[in-house]
Structure 1
Amino acid sequence: MNLDDFIITCFCVIDEMMPMILTDDRLRTRGPAPKLSDSEVITMEIVGSYLGLSQDKALLTYFQRHYCHFFPALVSTTFVRQVANLWSIKERVWCWLRDEAISDDPSLSIVDSVPVPVCRFARAPWCVRFRGEARYGKDHADRQTFYGFRLHAQLSWPGLLTRLFLAPANEADGEIVPLVLEGVTGVVLGDRNYWLPDLQAFLRTKGILLQAPFRKAHSPKAAASHSPVLGRVRYLIDTVFGQLTDRCQMKRVWARDLWHLRNRLLRFILMHTICFFFNQQEQAPLLQFDRLVV
């Protein structure tokens, strides 16, 4: 499909889901209703994230310049506020797609975390954003210290984001994973940070078999859990994190508080989920998002 078809398809899916999600709930109890419908705003966020427009100003400018005929009621004075106020609706849309529209295998999951720095490391001592909330942590991929948060995620097979937890950067993966896997059963794959015998024994009592490579790759104990097959399956979550980082610029944080940061993350997760849904409907490779718009 071309970009026009992609925008129309996203709008139709979102607009059809809104009555099922809201039921009898009222979004606004007072004040005038916005001229731009909530379905249109969420559609613009999804399409903007797909195109790599991660800032609200860039998103607004793009659609005002190229798609005023699709969104004639687009007004800059209310758009940014409306985007931020719809965070709970985006969360409901994501949960509905995840639970009702997309088929996955919940018995096989992958867990991992990705750094979300809020500023450059040199500016961290003077950064006023997220003061008292962000912490220093270790980015194992870049082998450096960063200041910010870690986004902990669970991925169900074959690549659907199902659970997320935003924690300060100094929180270890082993401390957060019981919260991420609450209510989950089956086999869960993780990297070396999850090789914690006490944690694995505790999770087995909950019906969770957490498989992780031994911390020392050349130890004799590593042979049973460090097979190439296990690694190829587990690296699927790195592909998803790469899509969120490269396409959505997830590691470029312009938000100034947790409310706006969570709203931005929900926008990216919703984009990823709806693109996954489109590929599944077309029986195409599920994580090849570039093929959606040609």
Structure 2
Amino acid sequence: MNLDDFIITCFCVIDEMMPMIVKEQRLRTRGPAPKLSDSEVITMEIIGSYLGLSQDTTLFAYFRRHYPHFFPGLLDLHRTSFVRQAANLWAIKERLWCALRDTRITYDECLSIVDSVPIPVCRFARAPWCVRFRGEASYGKDHADRQTFYGFRLHAQLSWPGLLTHVFLAPANEADGEIVPILLKGTTGVVLGDRNYWLPDVQAFLRTKGIVLQAPFRLAHSPKAAAYQSPVLGRVRYLIDTVFGQLTDRCQMKRVWARDLWHLRNRLLRCILMRTICFFLNQQEAAPYLQFDRLIA
């Protein structure tokens, strides 16, 4: 399909599910009706995330310039009103994501992968003077870049064959082992993690909940490491790195333009919803689930 068809398809999926999400309840109890419908705003956010338009200013300008015939209300709408309406719909995006996950998409609930990705909110040198997320963000270690950063960590559960099913945003100083029982609440089956999840006490606790958390030995060069290392499980576990790469490269998830948790939460949810819809469309067409570039010819 071309980009026009992709926009129409996304709008139809969202608009069809909106009555089920709101359950015939009014989202606004007072005030005039918005010039853009909620389905139109969410569609624009999803398409913008797919195209890599991470800033709200850029996203609004792109659709106002190229697609006023699809969204005629944009011509009479100010950018700040659009941004405010989009941010207020964060809970609707979360419900859409959960509804797609639970009712429209087929995945293996008994095999999942857990990991976390750092989300810095500013440069490390500016962190002592940064007023954004004061009291909410914290310092943590980015093991991939081998440096300390200031911000958050996004903890995620990826169910096979590559669907994000649960996420949890925590300060950067919260360890993976402290968040994983919260992240896996309601989950059963086998869960794969990296060396940060080699925590015998946590693994024993999760086993009582029906969860088998498999992780390689914490010390890679220890004589005990070979007994817990599996090349097959390692290749499966690396799938979550591909997903984090998509969120980082396509959606620029590590570039935090938001100044508060309200807007940051909305930005993360629209990225996750975009990825879930793309996964759903690929599954409908029996195409490779994680090849999102093929959706637009």
Which category of TM-score, normalised to the shorter sequence, fits these structures? Answer: over 0.9
- Structure 1 runs of 4+ off > 4 angstroms? none
Task: Point out where structure 1 has 5 or more consecutive residues left out of the alignment.
Answer: none
Residue-by-residue CA offset, 1:178-226 (whole Å, 9 max, x unaligned)? 0000111100000000001111111101110000000122323222321
Secondary structure at 2:72's aligned position in 1? Answer: coil
Secondary structure at 1:266's aligned position in 2? Answer: helix
Structure 1 counterpart of 2:42: 42
Q: CA RMSD in A?
A: 0.8
Task: Report the alpha carbon displacement of residue 285 of structure 1 after superposing the two structures with TM.
Answer: 0.5
Q: Work out which of the residue numbers 75, 78, 91 in structure 2 matches 1:76.
A: 78
Q: Work out which of the residue numbers 224, 247, 252 in structure 2 matches 1:249.
A: 252
Distance of 2:223 and 2:283 partners within structure 1? 41
User: Following superposition of structure 1 onto structure 2, how do residues 1-294 of structure 1 map, counting pairs within 5 Å?
Assistant: 1-74=1-74, 75-77=77-79, 78-294=81-297
Distance of 1:95 and 1:161 partners within structure 2? 10
Distance of 1:194 and 1:159 partners within structure 2? 20
Distance of 1:225 and 1:33 partners within structure 2? 59
Distance of 2:24 and 2:296 partners within structure 1? 36
Query: What one-letter code is carried by the residue in structure 2 that aligns with 1:230?
Result: L
Residues 60 and 76 of structure 1 are in contact (CA less than 8 Å); yes or no, is this contact kept in structure 2? Answer: no
TM-score, with normalisation over the residues of structure 2?
0.98
Task: Report the alpha carbon displacement of residue 72 of structure 1 after superposing the two structures with TM.
Answer: 0.5
Distance of 1:25 and 1:69 partners within structure 2? 29
Query: What one-letter code is carried by the residue in structure 2 that aligns with 1:238?
Result: D
Task: Point out where structure 2 has 5 or more consecutive residues left out of the alignment.
Answer: none
Name the count of aligned residue pairs. 294
Distance of 2:187 and 2:16 partners within structure 1? 29
**Identity rate of aligned residues, in percent?**
84
Distance of 2:25 and 2:110 partners within structure 1? 33
Task: Report the alpha carbon displacement of residue 73 of structure 1 after superposing the two structures with TM.
Answer: 0.7
Task: Report the alpha carbon displacement of residue 133 of structure 1 after superposing the two structures with TM.
Answer: 0.7
Residues 137 and 169 of structure 1 are in contact (CA less than 8 Å); yes or no, is this contact kept in structure 2? Answer: yes
Secondary structure at 2:25's aligned position in 1? Answer: coil
Secondary structure at 1:255's aligned position in 2? Answer: coil
Distance of 2:246 and 2:197 partners within structure 1? 23
TM-score, with normalisation over the residues of structure 1?
0.99
Distance of 2:190 and 2:228 partners within structure 1? 13
Query: What one-letter code is carried by the residue in structure 1 that aligns with 2:78?
Result: S
